[in-house]
Amino acid sequence: MTPQILDTSALLAFLWEEPGEGRVAELLANGRCYLGTTNLAELVSKIIERGLPANEVPSIVNSLNVEIVPLTQAQAELSGILRHSTRHLGLSLGDRACLALTQSLGGVAITADRPWLALDIGIHIECIRPDSH
């Protein structure tokens, strides 16, 4: 099975029961899902902003059934390099770190951010949001 690298937006859709959450639930149930540490930090920030107590963060993260992957030097460098080719879509550092991890694992980036589909950077991307057409 191809590694599924989850962007923060996909996990937030799952946690907040937003459109596309069913697809994320399916991926999490099937396993082989990965979350980079940069995206973990972003996810924790959003959980705390939502008002959940900090002491609940570990149990929320552990319940996701994802493998947490540290950011390597090569991935950090690629995240910086991707700034140029993703700037027009406003991708964040977390977004680019997700893409760098995806490339290094040879997987698929799973996101709720439909604009990612316009990227032509040689990285496979799946958007969990239904097409609005």
Partners of residue 109 on adjacent β-strands: 5, 125
Number of H helices, E strands in the chain: 6, 5
* pLDDT for the residue numbered 60: 95
| Distance between CA atoms of residues 4 and 50, nearest Å | 26
Domain count, the chain: 1
The model carries a pTM of 0.95
33 occurs within a structural domain? yes
132 occurs within a structural domain? no
Q: Which domain holds residue 49?
A: 4-127
133 occurs within a structural domain? no
* pLDDT for the residue numbered 63: 95
pLDDT tens over the chain, length 133 residues: 899 999 999 999 999 999 999 999 999 999 899 999 999 999 999 999 999 999 999 999 999 999 999 999 999 999 999 999 999 999 999 999 999 999 999 999 999 999 999 999 999 999 999 775 4
* pLDDT for the residue numbered 132: 59
Q: CATH number of the domain that 64 lies in?
A: 3.40.50.1010
91 occurs within a structural domain? yes
CB 60 within 8 A of CB 44: no
